[in-house]
Amino acid sequence: MNFQWTDQAAACPIIELHDIRTEKFRSEKYLTLVEDRLTGPFLAAGGHALGEFRVDNHPDRLLVLRGYPSMPARRRTLAAFHAGKDWTQSRAEAAALTRDAQTLLLRTVRPSEGVRSIRAGERLSALISEVRFPEQIGNYHLWLRLLLRKAGMDPFAAFATLEAVNDVPAVPVVRHRCFHVALVRGHEKTPELPPEMRNMLRYTPEILGLEPAMSLVW
């Protein structure tokens, strides 16, 4: 099966997924900091805040999605964002609230037609899979989408690791690992993967129930 990446002209083809574990009972404080002190300057610098999510059954875990129209735009946006007068203080405050964090640098697989809106507060599920080899990502995406579509759970957005040099050292990203992330609406039980798909993965997919902490636009 052949797979073509989303056209570079599509809105926000470059995605950062920030997987954050806050200190105990500090997730709401972290969200307040993001919304009050970080999101405005990030948007002013040219970035796209695609959403912040609470994770069901993990009260100290948050997922944050940010988008960019291209890698050069990401570099310019983050350079302007980090040059802001309040960035140093805000970064220190965020670090004090954070126990652990990792960032995945991803590229949009779906939707290829561009952005659209979803209802604010709509509950979602994320399926996070680590593929053994990058060349398997296209087949995995197509087979997973077919499997979920048959179950009435066609992903409305999907991302995969972007195999590119991270040219913003101030935002370290996970390297030498290949991830696929699918977002579906609701919290329905996902079907079991057939052996052919399980063999493509290093581990069993992580399935997370998500509650948007702010509006998400696709």
d(CA 173, CA 106): 10
Q: pLDDT tens digits for 4-17? A: 444 444 478 899 99
Q: What is the pLDDT of residue 4?
A: 45
SS3 of the chain: the string is CCCCCCCCCCCCCEEEEEEEEECCCCHHHHHHHHHHHHHHHHHHCCCEEEEEEEECCEEEEEEEEEEECCHHHHHHHHHHHHCCCCHHHHHHHHHHHEEEEEEEEEEEEECCCCCCECCCCCCEEEEEEEECCHHHHHHHHHHHHHHHHHCCCCCCEEEEECCCCCCCCCCCCCCCCEEEEEEEECCCCCCCCCHHHHCCECCCCEEEEEEECCCCEC
- In this predicted structure, what is the pLDDT of residue 48? 87
pLDDT higher than threshold 70 for residue 78? yes
Higher pLDDT, 69 or 198: 198
Average predicted confidence (pLDDT) for the chain: 88
What distance in Å separates the CA atoms of residue 200 and residue 100, rounded to the nearest whole number? Answer: 28
Query: What is this structure's pTM?
Result: 0.90
What would the pLDDT profile of 195-215 be if each residue is shown by its tens digit? Answer: 999 999 999 999 999 998 864
